[in-house]
Amino acid sequence: MTFAAPPGTATNNLVVELRSVRRRFGDVNALAGLDLEVPENKITVLLGPNGAGKTTAIRMITGALEPHGGSVKTFGLDPAVFGEEVRRRCGVVSAKPALYDRLDGHANLAYAAELYGLGRGDQIDERIRSAAARFGIEHALSQRVGGFSTGMKTRLALARSILHGPDLLLFDEPTSGLDPESSHAVLEMIREMTSDGRTVVMCTHLLLEAEGLADKVIVMEDGKDLVSGTPAELTQRFWPGTVVLIGSEGPLDEALLSSIEGVRQVEPTSTVYQKRLHLDGEHHVPDIIAALVANAVRLTQVEPIQPSLEDLYFAVRTKRNIADDGGRQLSPSFTSESQDSSDEALTDRHRQVAALTGWPANKDQP
């Protein structure tokens, strides 16, 4: 099968560009003005709860769905017009990949190869074995897929997704239903794919699996992008200073801590023997230690606190005003839909985010 060379190429090293994309299903707005940029040769992770619009966004990228508003460009092409060319360059693994349980692993991949237009023969068989070996299932190609574990089926679906050598891989909840060891193995394989020059978009609502994997994060809710950027950029944006946990043998004097140069804010913890200090920069840490020692404070702990992707996610999901310059910024109050006002509903994670950011952990607090 041959394709006519269509006009248009990817610009600014972006493989995917969605601009103000809207999509409805009946009265439901699955996407409500989504902006999304996917840089090449990187792993972009779409984070959000179920119903945030992540799967719909994936289907827009391939042209499986057309937008009701806005524009979609994949490889610089409109997938609604050049859908066949776009999909030829994409590999997709859905949350529940469709496999043929009555066929063995090899037959499943061979059938996919024919659908991709790769044909048959020894050369295709070698490609099938190579794809299966990459995901550690070459030993199971002769077994019926109906007897595969959930992890084995996911690995087979991943092997199928790279069979035709795609440039863009789209993974929708690729670790759904997997045990921790299988999930870790799958995520490691996904990371390796970018070393081959491929671009990856992965949807997930599991924060831990995105931690350390994402080159770019896009937090979604109700079909919108709340915030996007690299983890380092977002951490610096929302936590521009330095946060340090200080511990001592005796109760810490908050007035003393506040008087030290470079300390912007003193946050309490669950014990009087520890405080979180918000500093103007990490260069103040030695001065703070020296000042406390000079005041006969016997330190037991000086621990920098680096906000995690989970901290960022909870912060963004509960604060979502628009900055004057058009970018997303966090507001100082919780909304009733995002945070229950009762103390019992507050998790340790919410308290940690509140301590890191200085925002109240309870919407009833000032």
Q: Is-contact 190 200, C-beta < 8 A?
A: yes
Q: Are strands 263-268 and 274-279 parallel, antiparallel or unpaired?
A: antiparallel
Radius of gyration of the chain (CA): 25
Q: Which of 274, 235, 340, 254 is nearest to 361 (CA)?
A: 340
Comparison of pLDDT for 209 and 19, the residue scoring more: 19
Residues in the chain: 366
**Cα 362 to chain center, whole Å?**
26
Mean pLDDT value across residues 264-292: 89
Residue 294: its pLDDT value, please? 93
pLDDT in tens, 166-179: 999 999 988 877 77
Query: Does residue 199 have a pLDDT over 50?
Result: yes
Query: Does residue 363 have a pLDDT over 50?
Result: no
Question: What average pLDDT is seen over the chain?
Answer: 81
Percent of the chain residues topping a pLDDT of 90: 48
Mean pLDDT value across residues 202-224: 85
Query: Does residue 54 have a pLDDT over 60?
Result: yes
> How many Å apart are CA 36 and CA 259, to the nearest integer?
45
Residue 329: its pLDDT value, please? 40
Cβ of 114: how many Cβ atoms within 10 Å?
Answer: 11
Cβ of 265: how many Cβ atoms within 10 Å?
Answer: 13
Mean pLDDT value across residues 39-68: 92
Q: In Å, what is the CA distance from 90 to each residue of 85, 121, 278?
A: 9, 23, 45
- In the sheet where 69-74 sits, what is the strand order? 28-39, 14-25, 69-74
Query: Does residue 278 have a pLDDT over 80?
Result: yes
Query: Does residue 254 have a pLDDT over 80?
Result: yes
> How many Å apart are CA 243 and CA 304, to the nearest integer?
6
Comparison of pLDDT for 349 and 16, the residue scoring more: 16
All structural domains of the chain, each given as residue ranges with its CATH number in brackets, are 14-230 (3.40.50.300), 240-304 (3.30.70.100), 309-357 (no CATH)
Q: Is-contact 305 356, C-beta < 8 A?
A: yes
Query: Does residue 88 have a pLDDT over 80?
Result: yes
Residue 10: its pLDDT value, please? 52
Cβ of 213: how many Cβ atoms within 10 Å?
Answer: 19
Beta bridge partners of 225: 220
> How many Å apart are CA 206 and CA 46, to the nearest integer?
10
Query: Does residue 344 have a pLDDT over 60?
Result: no
- Long-range contacts made by residues 114-121, C-beta under 8 angstroms, separation at least 24? 116/88, 116/163, 116/164, 117/1, 117/164, 118/163, 118/164
pLDDT in tens, 297-329: 999 999 988 777 777 777 776 654 433 333 334
- In the sheet where 274-279 sits, what is the strand order? 263-268, 274-279, 242-248, 299-304
| Two tokens, residue 4 | 């006519």
> How many Å apart are CA 276 and CA 287, to the nearest integer?
16
Residue 361: its pLDDT value, please? 40
Residue that is written with structure tokens 């990187």 in the block: 42
Residue 113: its pLDDT value, please? 93
